[in-house]
Amino acid sequence: MGTKTAAILFTACLLLSACTATKPESAATSNQQDSAASDSSNSAKDQSNVSSPKSSSKQAGSDDHNSAGKTNAQNDKTSESNETGAATSATSATTNNKMYHLDKAYNVIPNQQGTEKKVVLLTFDDGPKEAAMINKIIDVLDKHKAKAIFFVNGYRVKEHPELLKLIHDRGQPIGNHSWDHIVLKNKSEPEVKKQIETVQKAVKDITGQAPVFFRPPHGAGGDVGRKVAKENGLLYMTWSVGSLDWTMKKNQPNKTEALLKNVTEQLHPGSNILMHELPWTAEALDSILTRLEQKGYQFVDPQGIEVPAS
């Protein structure tokens, strides 16, 4: 009996040992499965936190709109690409360091919060005319550390290419004001293309740089003018404040006071001020810019304004 009992006890011990040895292995397997399930669940959660291409691109489009300050027309153009997941416009705007854009009324608008709002854009149309007058205008601009767009006509550039080079060499931006200063809005597309593109070529041939700003003569470019300008990488604009210097006569008294009144009565943050290469405007310019500074305005550098991709 003692031997049998010992054998039975020995066998029972062996069975008990085998059972307890298998339990940890089973638990480890279960833990691994739980861990895998947990990893899978976390991975799914991580994936759910990443927006789909469509929703991500919509957010990018929204950010692009907020940071780059696109106009509605530009947003219409980019909305389709934004919905497919392309988010390059904001990056491009940041890279190019464009601080402003023009709204539908051609006012200068900051792209981001914190950018100076109380600015004006200075522009001069219908040149280049005379070296002495150009130098006088630019001397005043330099005095006030200001830049202005000089919108030139092609026929004047052809007559005096040295005057165009003078403007360029003195560091002022040059804009396209068509070849003949005609009303473009009722012209055919081939004629409008000729009016705009011949100026683009002439300016580039003389200065090495094609204009990026376009102002239609008389402020009337029409849909075709806008289309051709855009195709040539030109920012189309008219103005939001007119100096009315073009209505004045040589023998009219007190032209400086009249110009000051015309500008300041319409003045507002972002004003796009239209002036011309005229003797009385050159004479009054220092007073005008001084008055603007006294009112707390700064002069926006046109190079900081968004333009279409060429």
Annotated catalytic sites, by residue?
Answer: 125, 276
Residue 100 contacts residue 113 (beta carbons within 8 Å): no
The conformation of residue 170, written as its DSSP 8-state character, comes to: T
DSSP code, position 302: G
**257: amino acid identity, one letter:** E
List 77's β-bridge partners, or say none: none
Within 8 A by CB and 6+ apart from 216, the residues are 177, 178, 184, 185, 222, 225, 236, 238
Burial class (CB in 10 A: 0-12, 13-18, 19+), 305: buried
The burial of 86, by beta-carbon neighbours within 10 Å (0-12 exposed, 13-18 middle, 19 or more buried), is given as middle
Give yes or no for a contact between 113 and 119, defined as CB atoms under 8 angstroms apart. Answer: no
Which among 228, 243, 232 is positioned nearest to 280, based on CA atoms?
243
Distances (CA, A) of 197 to 4, 65, 228, 302: 114, 30, 9, 21
Cβ proximity of 213 and 203 under 8 Å:
no
> Residues 21, 27, 33, 35: is their CA dihedral positive or negative?
negative
